[in-house]
């Protein structure tokens, strides 16, 4: 009888203390909803009543987030770019997109600190530092293509955005792939923008969820989306406080935070035009051999959509990128 009691107690304890949600945290480029959610403890407030623990993991690279999702380190990508989702899908990592975050066409850039480099064409034969397999990498390839070049015309040196910025400013590379506050700080130090995403691609940042997690916990996912909506409401109704949180998190001035906010184009949903853009991205990545085979976009199953119908309305909120 005592052994049975201990077993029951063990399961009860596991049920109380074993529930948790692991979320990747990326403050860059300027993910204000996620910053507000974390700094204001909104997720903790939503899930604490059910004794569900919220764990944030600072992972900035989209592909690293995908790998963490695959290995079970995280359940939800707080912010991930769709380029990384496409590349991860081609590696058979299944990620469900459940919500948009932003469409920041102005906040990603290719930059240089070299006076003799004034255009993308001037990068031929030069070194460029930045994170491969990301929307920044796609922007570089698209800019090269637009100027009659391709990936073979530059040498891409894999680095994080911070490392790439330092390498460019120290003259160790000719150009860098930068975003948000790193872009503003580099400009202050004399660097110039060769191109942004504008006119090349539409960057799409979204919330990604592990497929198994969505199947097992659709209500938790619905509640996560509810909290993201609360964060958007907080930003709209308390803009000054929200921007101050963003400024502190990025180590920039309030005025710079306001500038990044305007450039971020925050959003909650993807439109049909965005999905068409996503299909164009797939074709481009295939052509440039960043993915080995064609992938396609399909709506997620009807059962999951039913849980979220009140939040989706006519916009696309849940969809999957899958091998065709």
Q: Could you report the per-residue pLDDT of 20-63, keeping only the tens digit for each?
A: 999 999 998 999 999 999 999 999 999 999 999 999 999 988 88
Q: How confident is the model at residue 272 (pLDDT cuts 50, 70, 90)?
A: confident
Rounded Cα distance between 293 and 281, Å, is 13
Hey, how many other C-beta atoms are within 10 angstroms of the C-beta on 41?
12
Given this model, what pLDDT does residue 279 score? 85
Residue spans of the domains in the chain: they are 2-103+204-323, 108-196
| DSSP characters over 136-150 | HHHHHHHHHHHTT--
Contact 285, 86 (CB under 8 A): yes
Given this model, what pLDDT does residue 311 score? 33
Rounded Cα distance between 180 and 28, Å, is 7
2-103+204-323 maps to CATH 1.20.1580.10: no
216-237 pLDDT per residue, tens: 998 999 899 999 999 999 999 9
pTM of the predicted protein model: 0.82
Do 2-103+204-323 and 108-196 come out as alike in CATH topology?
A: yes
Q: How confident is the model at residue 298 (pLDDT cuts 50, 70, 90)?
A: low
108-196, what's its fold?
D-Maltodextrin-Binding Protein; domain 2 (3.40.190)
Given this model, what pLDDT does residue 260 score? 94
| Half-sphere exposure at residue 289, Cβ-oriented, CA atoms within 13 angstroms | 3
What are the Cα distances from residue 232, in Å, to 12, 198, 267?
A: 37, 24, 9
Q: Which residues pair with 95 in a beta bridge?
A: 210
Contact 100, 267 (CB under 8 A): yes
């Amino acid at each position: 009888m005592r052994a049975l009691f201990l077993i029951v107690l063990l399961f009860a304890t596991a049920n109380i203390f074993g529930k948790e949600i692991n979320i990747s945290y990326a403050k860059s480029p300027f993910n204000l909803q996620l910053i507000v959610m974390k700094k204001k403890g909104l997720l903790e407030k939503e899930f604490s009543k059910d004794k569900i623990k919220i764990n944030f993991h600072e992972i900035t690279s989209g592909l690293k987030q995908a790998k963490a999702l695959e290995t079970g380190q995280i359940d939800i990508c707080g912010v991930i770019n769709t380029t990384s989702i496409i590349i991860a899908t081609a590696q058979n990592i299944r990620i469900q997109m459940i919500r948009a975050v932003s469409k920041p066409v102005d906040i990603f850039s290719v930059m240089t600190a070299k006076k003799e480099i004034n255009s993308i064409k001037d990068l031929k034969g030069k070194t460029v530092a930045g994170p491969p397999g990301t929307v920044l990498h796609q922007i570089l390839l698209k800019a090269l293509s637009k100027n009659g070049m391709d990936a073979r015309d530059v040498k891409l040196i894999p680095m994080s955005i911070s490392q790439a910025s330092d390498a460019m400013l120290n003259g160790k590379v000719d150009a860098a792939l930068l975003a948000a506050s790193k872009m503003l700080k580099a400009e202050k130090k004399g660097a110039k923008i060769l191109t942004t995403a504008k006119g090349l691609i539409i960057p799409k940042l979204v919330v990604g969820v592990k497929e198994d997690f969505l199947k097992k916990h659709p209500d938790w996912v619905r509640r996560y989306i509810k909290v993201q909506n609360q964060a958007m409401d907080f930003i709209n109704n308390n803009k000054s406080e929200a921007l101050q949180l963003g400024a502190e998190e990025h180590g920039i001035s309030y005025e710079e935070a306001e500038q990044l906010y305007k450039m971020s184009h925050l959003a909650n949903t993807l439109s049909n035009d965005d999905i068409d853009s996503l299909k164009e991205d797939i074709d481009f990545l295939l052509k440039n051999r960043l993915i080995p085979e064609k992938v396609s976009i399909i709506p997620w199953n009807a059962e999951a959509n039913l849980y979220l119908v009140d939040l989706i309305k006519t916009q696309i909120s849940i969809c999957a990128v899958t091998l065709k």
